[in-house]
Amino acid sequence: MQSKHHKSGALLAMTLTLALAACGGGGGGGDSTPTPVPTPTPTPAPSAGFSQKATWAVTLPATNVSVCYDFDTQTEVADCSGNAWDLKFKSGGRTASLSTNSGVSGSGQGGAFGGPFEHTWADLLAWQNGTTDPTSGPIPANLYFKDSASGVFTGSNSIQAAAFEYGVGGENDHKLYPNYRVFLITTDNTKASNTGDATSPVFALQVTGYYGGPSGTASGWPSFRWVDRFTGTQKTAIVDASTDWVYYDLVAGAVSSEAGTWHIAFNRYNVKLNGGASGSGKVGGFVGGTPAGFYDGSGKPVAAKFTDATNFASTLADLASPTAFPATAAQWVKDGTTSPLSPNYQGTYPAALDYGWFSYYPTTAAASAAGLPAVAHLLKANDTRGTLLRSGEGNSYARFRLVEIKYADPNNASSAQTWTFEFDIQPKP
């Protein structure tokens, strides 16, 4: 059963997301032709319910190493690529984070219906399948939320995009519009320089559109332009990011790959940089300014400005002359990852910190109070929590919980950990 807070937030997200899904994820620039909006179709409940059970016992790997699980085949997967995995387990050293095969975390069609703070395992046991809430009926597919990047390109608007606004024309407008915001992108976030040099350039970049393809009107084709602030060289590009992440090398001015050299990546209106949680590089970002006129004094989009056909030409000067710069290297923003499965912890040090799936006991006193050995930095599973997970292939579901965190030596918080998850699986129809 959902909390009132989760349900109201979910309904709002459903309204916005269904509108976006109906028009192919949003529209393009102000001169684009809107796509007709079909009536959303509820997700049909597959015939099978939670008819299978599985247990996954996984050893906490080295820091930053991930291991994945495919609940369809009930096997651990070492290669966390493609659609054939459903739950990612990534080591943070002493702890671990969980994510779904969706959004920034994977190329699949996975997602989670809330996280461990929204559901108790006892409540979930009343569910017959993963597509029907026993208290409110069928669950639209879009309420299985995808993982998302958290960084300089993350916004506070309805689509959480800092480079676009959605539906500025009102209720019947289902397009995306660029705001021509200037983003500074460094290739070395350990340096404070905002101009860069020959070996570690800094770019000023604007996203300029969202429609493209052979017809010129297909959504998910972001266009962008950028300037090398050391050489003054300006380039433009458009990429087909309508179906998956596209990785781009700003130095070469060419599409690359996740395993190759890249600085920025696009997946429809989502953007990430090669640094922090999104990649092994040193790329960081900073908002260099927003051209005048796009927002009023309260921060509300000004529709007439967003739909002005001269924006591409009139905002070029903003690209050449950003108004804000990072004062120190620490101000370069490196990407993080947001997943319903890895919520922020609750609690205050030195008391226990509740991460949803488990609690962390930072002191011997906190551990003792919880009935654990008097050892600092121990973890304990919260087996009363759970949630619903959609598979990477998008056609099967599971409810799951963490039932145990076992140490090789219970009196040594640095000894090997084994985490055990329990799944009730609704197989493919």
DSSP 155-184: -SSTT-BSSEEE-TT-TT---EEE---EEE
pLDDT digits (tens, 9 = 90+) for 166-185: 999 887 888 999 999 999 99
pLDDT at position 14 over 50: no
Burial bucket for residue 215 (CB in 10 Å: 0-12, 13-18, 19+): exposed
Q: Answer yes or no: are the C-beta atoms of 402 and 383 closer than 8 Å.
A: yes
Q: How far is CA 91 from CA 64, 82, 103, 145, 416, in A?
A: 5, 20, 20, 22, 12
pLDDT at position 264 over 70: yes
397 — alpha (psi -120 to 50), left (phi > 0) or beta? beta
pLDDT at position 361 over 70: yes
pLDDT at position 404 over 60: yes
At 12 the pLDDT is 35
Least confident of 3-7, 173-177, 260-264: 3-7
pLDDT greater at residue 81 or residue 355: 355
pLDDT at position 231 over 70: yes
Return d(Cα 42, Cα 32) in angstroms, integer. Answer: 28
pLDDT at position 412 over 50: yes
At 39 the pLDDT is 41
Residues 128-140, mean pLDDT to the nearest whole number: 88
Measured over the CA atoms of residue 359, residue 361, residue 367 and residue 372, the dihedral's sign is: positive
140's tokens: 């639209």
Q: Answer yes or no: are the C-beta atoms of 132 and 365 closer than 8 Å.
A: no
pLDDT at position 257 over 80: yes
DSSP 137: E
Q: Residue type for 38, please?
A: P
pLDDT digits (tens, 9 = 90+) for 300-317: 999 999 999 999 999 999
* CB contact set of 105 (below 8 Å; sequence gap of 6+): 88, 99, 147, 337, 339
At 67 the pLDDT is 96
DSSP 145: B
**What is the edge-to-edge ordering of all strands in the sheet holding 96-100?**
75-77, 66-70, 87-91, 96-100
pLDDT digits (tens, 9 = 90+) for 64-116: 899 999 999 999 998 898 899 999 999 999 999 999 999 878 889 999 998 99
136 confidence band (pLDDT: 50, 70, 90):
confident
At 267 the pLDDT is 87
Report the mean per-residue pLDDT for the chain: 88
Return d(Cα 55, Cα 402) in angstroms, integer. Answer: 10
Q: Is 142 strand, coil or helix?
A: helix
At 344 the pLDDT is 85
Burial bucket for residue 357 (CB in 10 Å: 0-12, 13-18, 19+): buried
6 confidence band (pLDDT: 50, 70, 90):
very low
pLDDT digits (tens, 9 = 90+) for 142-164: 788 888 778 999 887 878 799 99
* CB contact set of 243 (below 8 Å; sequence gap of 6+): 220
Percent of the chain at pLDDT exceeding 90: 74
325's tokens: 């710069």
Q: What share of the chain is helix, strand, coil (3-state, %, to 5)?
A: 15, 35, 55
pLDDT digits (tens, 9 = 90+) for 266-277: 988 889 999 998
Return d(Cα 32, Cα 26) in angstroms, integer. Answer: 11
Q: Residue type for 209, please?
A: G
Q: Answer yes or no: are the C-beta atoms of 131 and 395 closer than 8 Å.
A: no
DSSP 262: -
At 160 the pLDDT is 78
Q: How far is CA 248 from CA 222, 318, 336, in A?
A: 12, 23, 19
At 8 the pLDDT is 33
278 confidence band (pLDDT: 50, 70, 90):
confident
pTM of the model: 0.59
Return d(Cα 119, Cα 399) in angstroms, integer. Answer: 10
Least confident of 43-47, 102-106, 343-347: 43-47
pLDDT at position 27 over 50: no
pLDDT digits (tens, 9 = 90+) for 50-68: 999 999 999 999 998 999 9
